[in-house]
């Protein structure tokens, strides 16, 4: 049986709700951490599948496990119970449909201790399990890794993806600043408030460019995929505003909060079907009109496009969907141009190579047959170019071999 140290270096919170499909991969990655002095706090939020049984099987052989089994009350309430239960010097989070590299918590803990950091965050992987594909997501600029920074002096950090599970937090720092989760039953986006509170209070944050946590993005049961839960973003930001006011930071960080709020609201608006967006739009409009009346909105933070979108939502919400169509068309055209220009260059290169080859093949007919009906999309053009370029490469190779044989003879 694996035994824990008297005072764990890191308490790892694992929130669990009906994740039997992924849970063993998650727990294996936590149990196998190279940092042995850990506490594994599993928070079962009333699962109705076999999740609890799986956790209990692991706990029989490893006394580093602490199991909290309770009725379903939501992610925020579960995490707050975990924070109260934790005894480690630092707090880490591994959500039960994700998994971590073996050296994640040892490396993050060593960085935290070496730099006396309140928070250590790392890059992470977007993980597509169906394709076993991992793509690194970088959180900060390359010149701000491997050193202590103050988030208030680097405001863009507030606008990055929360990724609260890609780091560790000094437990004393969280407790001294009253940082916890909004315990809204059935809610989503509850990492939003926790993340903003952390950055608003941290003075010693350290970022690593290593990636350790594999964040699964193809779990259809993930709450973030439930568009109907977008309304909970409003509650998160209401809680953030309350927190900043209580801690005397609203005047300094109010504009930052509103800009981050716009990003969250707009992201949800963009992914909603029109009917749902029409219901959501008046809420967004009134939210920012209120912020403006309270002197919290700073348009100087916004670029021209974002300012135009927000002003339309606030003052002319009936025009929002027209503006959305315009911007979507512009974005589509920009993507097409981005693809067409390199393709045009490929065509030029092919024609140049054809011109170089023709003198050596005067007796051979060489033609590029372009069928307009068959090439009615850019993808088909690129596919045809792939075939043309392969044929040219074969012919160039043959031509070079013939020239070489003439020289040798």
Pairwise CA distance, residues 59 & 197, whole Å: 33
Nearest to 208 by CA among 154, 135, 138: 138
Nearest to 28 by CA among 102, 90, 95, 79: 102
pLDDT of amino acid 76: 94
Q: What is the pLDDT of residues 286-320, one digit of tens each?
A: 999 999 999 999 999 999 999 999 999 999 999 99
Tokens encoding 405: 């044989």
Nearest to 7 by CA among 165, 212, 206, 172: 172
Domains belonging to the chain, first-starting first, are 1-221 (3.90.550.10), 226-315 (no CATH), 327-408 (no CATH)
278: β partners: none
pTM of the model: 0.80
Q: What is the pLDDT of residues 25-77, one digit of tens each?
A: 999 999 999 999 999 999 999 999 999 999 999 999 999 999 999 999 999 99
45: β partners: 70
pLDDT surpassing 50 at residue 146: yes
Nearest to 179 by CA among 232, 258, 87, 247: 247
Pairwise CA distance, residues 127 & 212, whole Å: 11
Q: What is the pLDDT of residues 4-15, one digit of tens each?
A: 557 999 999 999
pLDDT of amino acid 232: 78
CB contact set of 47 (below 8 Å; sequence gap of 6+): 16, 17, 18, 19, 20
Task: Find the range with the poorest average confidence among 93-102, 263-272, 274-283, 325-334.
Answer: 325-334
Q: 179, 197 in Cβ contact below 8 A?
A: yes
């Amino acid at each position: 049986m694996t035994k824990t140290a008297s005072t764990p270096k890191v308490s790892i919170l694992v929130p669990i709700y009906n994740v039997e499909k992924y849970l063993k991969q998650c727990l294996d990655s936590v149990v196998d951490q190279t940092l042995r002095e850990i506490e594994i706090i599993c928070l079962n939020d009333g699962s109705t599948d076999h999740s609890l049984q799986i956790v209990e099987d692991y706990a029989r052989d490893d006394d580093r496990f602490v199991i909290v089994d309770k009725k379903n009350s939501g992610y925020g309430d579960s995490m707050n119970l975990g924070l109260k239960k934790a005894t480690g010097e630092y707090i880490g989070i591994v959500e039960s449909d994700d998994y971590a590299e073996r050296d994640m918590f040892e490396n993050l803990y060593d960085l935290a201790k070496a730099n006396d950091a309140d928070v250590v965050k790392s890059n992470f992987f977007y993980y597509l399990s169906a394709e076993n594909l991992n793509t690194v997501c970088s959180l900060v600029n390359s010149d701000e890794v491997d050193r202590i920074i103050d988030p208030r002096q680097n405001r863009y950090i507030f606008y990055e993806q929360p990724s609260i599970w890609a780091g560790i937090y000094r437990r004393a720092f969280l407790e001294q600043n009253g940082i916890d989760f909004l315990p809204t039953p059935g809610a989503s986006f509850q990492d939003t408030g926790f993340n903003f509170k952390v950055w608003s209070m941290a003075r010693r944050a350290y970022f690593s460019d290593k990636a350790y946590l594999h964040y699964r993005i193809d779990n259809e049961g993930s709450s973030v995929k439930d568009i109907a839960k977008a309304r909970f973003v409003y509650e998160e930001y209401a809680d953030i505003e309350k927190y900043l006011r209580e801690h005397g930071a609203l005047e300094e960080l109010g504009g930052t909060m509103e800009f981050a709020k716009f990003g969250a609201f707009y992201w949800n608006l963009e992914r909603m079907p029109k009917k749902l967006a029409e219901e959501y739009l008046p809420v967004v409009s009134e939210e920012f009109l209120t912020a403006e009346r309270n002197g919290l909105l700073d348009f100087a933070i916004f670029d021209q496009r974002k300012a135009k979108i927000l002003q339309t939502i606030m003052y002319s919400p009936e025009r929002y969907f027209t503006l959305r169509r315009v911007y979507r068309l512009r974005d589509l055209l920009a993507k097409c141009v981005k693809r067409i220009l390199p393709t045009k260059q490929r065509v030029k290169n092919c024609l140049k190579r054809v011109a170089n080859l023709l003198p050596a093949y005067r007796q051979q007919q060489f033609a590029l047959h372009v069928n307009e009906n068959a090439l009615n999309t850019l993808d088909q053009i690129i596919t045809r170019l792939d075939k043309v370029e392969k044929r040219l490469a074969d012919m160039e190779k043959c031509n070079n071999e013939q020239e070489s044989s003439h020289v040798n003879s």
